[in-house]
């Protein structure tokens, strides 16, 4: 009896085990059939090949319709190791057609062998002519994928336009929409407008037979998707101005920026030295990039938006405006200058000119002493109860002109410059400082740092008598009726418009009557200008010039900054004047000046040590 019960229990246990195993097997089969898609994908991969279809990148035009960046046809050579003809493969012939080395080909084939079903990039930037030769070669397992490559017809604006490069591993981590082998805009317009320029990839599904040969489109292309081309951009740049600007700045270090005051559109942006953006396209891109990277003059650094320079005497315009608004300065106020400003052992030098002088003449002749008086009157205004409070008021005015912060342009790497706050001086001088301590700020020196874009924007502010539009580089986007709303908004300074007129008058006088900017005169145009010579503790002074024209209904505002260029009238002024001449008159009437500036090579000890 016990033996029979024991046998019955064993039989039940065996039945349960069999049912459990059967259930697990059935569950696994159901999971594979209904849920798990891996085997289906493996089966599909045996008969289908998915080819990415890359869209043409959006093209970039200047404001007159000239091409700044184009897309031209090229191909990527891909290989699927499993489909290769290992015995009849002619390595030398393929290398000859595509221009790659046997060593590189062997390396790529070794990579492909690791994942024999996955396509692997063998070579890129293959021109159409080589692709046609490849097609006639019958290389099994290899195929070409259509792409476009950037071409910059005018070979200008390297820092302005940026370039297109292959995505890095770090970029892929933060941007899951991209895949290895994709290209992305780097710097300038290419980067700022990457989402619009890149377009959207498509896919083409091909069907293979049992031998791996391509039969044609799967399901007659039913599941194919077409690539969506990137959008075209019309930039605000005047290509003629950009070309001349880069030509005149060659052999010099610095930047030149021109803005249309009525819109905030950037007409020209030159950073010097620059580079040919075509050098960062093609198979030599890596070698060229390393040469640029190790160049001591750093041509890939966009000085126009990231450089931080002392504005020098051009900043006296801001001091005059703040003084007028604060009521501590009247246009008729006279201040003496005996080749400088002296208090005790402190002396701020100045060049020789008649004394005393009023505001208009102080601007035209760029008197240092005059604006030392004005600056001290602002900070020591009794209504603020102390110099430190007066300094805070002064700083707030300066910030309202766009200094010490990003302007909000469409350059992703725009710099903010620097306007020191009172905490810096409290820490440096342990709380014991006064207006004489920071007197160098009165003439745009000291700790003050401004970008060339900010200085050009100052010219636009004065041209507009008190307001500016955020400077921007794109004028129109294909398929869009308007730009970002922020580019249409007026930004006002804290200075009343009426106070700008005497400042404008002083700038006009400096060009047309008796000032330091007389060489900027253009017959028939009321040019307004202000020279600047920025002190440089590491060599020759920097040359800068700020200008706009015409005086009424201005069409262009410009700032030029030349490192180690000496007096403002020596290097920066003639460059700005020639650029204004081209823009306003559509011609150059002074070819001999162009030749002189073109041949002006300025020694930069800071970069050659």
Q: Considering the entire predicted model, what is its pTM? A: 0.87
DSSP 320-350: HHHHHHHTS--TT--B--SSEEEETTEEEE-
178 exposed, middle or buried (CB, 10 Å; 0-12, 13-18, 19+)?
A: middle
Q: pLDDT for 56-74, tens place per residue?
A: 999 999 999 999 999 988 8
Looking at the structure, give the CATH architecture of the domain made up of residues 239-292+305-608.
3-Layer(aba) Sandwich (3.40)
So where are the chain's domains?
Answer: 55-235, 239-292+305-608
CA distances from 579 to 11, 178, 235, 462 (A): 101, 41, 19, 19
- SS3 for 238? coil
Length of the chain: 609
Task: Identify the bridge partners of residue 450 per DSSP, sorted by sequence position.
Answer: 309
Helix, strand, coil share (%) of the chain residues, nearest 5: 40, 20, 40
Query: In whole angstroms, what is the distance from residue 582 CA to residue 566 CA?
Result: 25
Query: In whole angstroms, what is the distance from residue 433 CA to residue 205 CA?
Result: 74
**Residue 232: is its pLDDT beyond 90?**
yes
- Over range 177-193, report the average pLDDT: 88
Task: Identify the bridge partners of residue 533 per DSSP, sorted by sequence position.
Answer: 543
* Sign of the C-alpha dihedral computed for residues 242, 244, 248 and 251 taken in this order: positive
Q: pLDDT for 18-39, tens place per residue?
A: 787 887 878 777 666 666 555 4
- The angle at the Cα of 265, spanning 262 to 269, to the nearest 5 degrees, equals 130
Q: pLDDT for 125-145, tens place per residue?
A: 888 888 999 888 888 889 888
Provide the pLDDT for residue 451: 97
Which residue matches tokens 């810096």? 424
Query: In whole angstroms, what is the distance from residue 262 CA to residue 38 CA?
Result: 61
Least confident of 130-139, 214-223, 342-351, 498-507: 214-223
Provide the pLDDT for residue 539: 81
Supply the CATH classification number for the domain 55-235: 3.90.1310.10
- Over range 204-222, report the average pLDDT: 68
Q: Please say whether the beta carbons of 368 and 443 come within 8 A.
A: yes
* Sign of the C-alpha dihedral computed for residues 474, 475, 481 and 487 taken in this order: positive
Q: Give the mean pLDDT of the chain.
A: 90
> What is the Cα 286 distance to its own chain's centre?
20
Which residue matches tokens 């002396």? 347
CA distances from 49 to 64, 80, 110, 218 (A): 44, 10, 21, 9
Q: pLDDT for 409-450, tens place per residue?
A: 998 889 999 999 999 999 999 999 999 999 999 999 999 999
Q: Please say whether the beta carbons of 457 and 472 come within 8 A.
A: no
Task: Identify the bridge partners of residue 61 per DSSP, sorted by sequence position.
Answer: 67, 234
- The percent of residues in the chain predicted with pLDDT above 70, rounded, is 93
Which residue matches tokens 């400003």? 341
- SS3 for 149? strand
Pairing outcome for strands 60-61 and 67-79: antiparallel
Provide the pLDDT for residue 42: 44
């Amino acid at each position: 009896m016990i033996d029979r019960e024991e046998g019955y229990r064993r039989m039940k246990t065996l039945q349960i085990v069999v049912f459990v195993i059967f259930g697990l097997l059935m569950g696994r089969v159901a999971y594979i059939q209904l849920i798990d898609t891996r085997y289906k994908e493996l089966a599909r991969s045996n008969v289908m090949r998915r080819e990415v279809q890359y869209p043409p990148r959006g093209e970039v035009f200047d404001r007159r319709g000239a091409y700044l960046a184009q897309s031209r046809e090229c191909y990527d050579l891909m290989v699927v190791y499993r489909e290769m003809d290992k015995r009849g493969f002619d390595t030398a012939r393929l290398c000859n057609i595509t221009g790659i080395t046997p060593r590189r080909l062997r390396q790529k084939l070794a990579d492909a062998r690791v994942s024999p079903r996955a396509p692997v990039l063998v070579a890129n930037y293959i021109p159409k002519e080589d692709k046609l030769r490849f097609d006639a070669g019958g290389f099994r397992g290899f195929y070409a994928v259509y792409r476009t490559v950037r071409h910059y017809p005018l070979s200008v604006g390297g820092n302005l336009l940026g370039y297109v490069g292959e995505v890095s591993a770090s970029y892929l981590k933060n941007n899951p929409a991209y895949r290895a082998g994709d290209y992305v805009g780097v710097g300038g317009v290419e980067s700022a407008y990457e989402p619009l320029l890149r377009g959207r990839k498509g896919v083409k599904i091909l069907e293979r037979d049992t031998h791996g040969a391509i039969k044609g489109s799967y399901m007659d292309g039913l599941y194919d998707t077409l690539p969506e081309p990137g959008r075209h951009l019309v930039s605000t740049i005047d290509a003629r101005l950009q070309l001349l600007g880069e030509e005149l700045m060659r052999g010099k270090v610095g930047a030149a920026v021109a803005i249309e005051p009525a819109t905030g559109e950037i007409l020209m942006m030159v950073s010097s030295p620059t580079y040919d953006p075509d050098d960062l396209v093609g198979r030599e891109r890596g070698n060229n990039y390393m040469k640029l990277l190790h160049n001591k003059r750093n041509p890939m650094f966009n000085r126009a938006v990231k450089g931080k320079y002392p504005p020098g005497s051009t900043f006296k315009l801001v001091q005059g405006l703040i003084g007028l608004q604060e009521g501590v300065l009247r246009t008729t106020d006279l201040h003496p200058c005996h080749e400088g400003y002296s208090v005790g052992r402190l002396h701020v030098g100045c060049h020789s000119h008649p004394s005393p002088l009023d505001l208009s003449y102080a601007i035209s002749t760029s008197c240092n002493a005059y604006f030392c008086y004005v600056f001290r009157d602002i900070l020591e205004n009794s209504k603020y109860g102390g110099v430190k409070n007066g300094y805070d008021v002064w700083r707030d005015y300066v910030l309202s002109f766009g200094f010490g912060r990003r302007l909000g342009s469409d350059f992703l790497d725009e710099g903010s410059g620097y306007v020191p706050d009172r905490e810096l001086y409290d820490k440096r001088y342990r709380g014991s400082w006064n207006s004489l301590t920071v007197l160098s700020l009165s003439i745009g020196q000291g700790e003050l740092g401004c970008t060339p874009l900010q200085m050009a924007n100052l010219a636009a502010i004065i041209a507009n008598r008190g307001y500016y539009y955020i400077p921007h580089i794109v004028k129109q986007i294909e398929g869009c009726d308007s730009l970002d709303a922020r580019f249409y908004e007026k930004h006002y300074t804290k200075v009343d418009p009426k106070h700008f007129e005497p400042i404008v008058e002083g700038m006009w006088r400096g060009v047309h009557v008796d000032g330091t900017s007389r060489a900027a005169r253009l017959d028939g145009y009321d040019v307004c200008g202000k020279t600047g010579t920025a002190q440089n503790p590491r060599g020759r002074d920097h040359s800068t010039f700020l200008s706009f024209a015409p005086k009424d209904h201005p069409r262009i505002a410009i700032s030029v900054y030349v490192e180690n260029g000496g007096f403002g009238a020596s290097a920066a002024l003639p460059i700005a004047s020639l650029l204004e001449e081209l823009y306003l008159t559509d011609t150059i009437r002074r070819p001999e000046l162009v030749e002189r500036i073109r041949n002006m090579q300025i020694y930069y000890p800071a970069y050659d040590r």
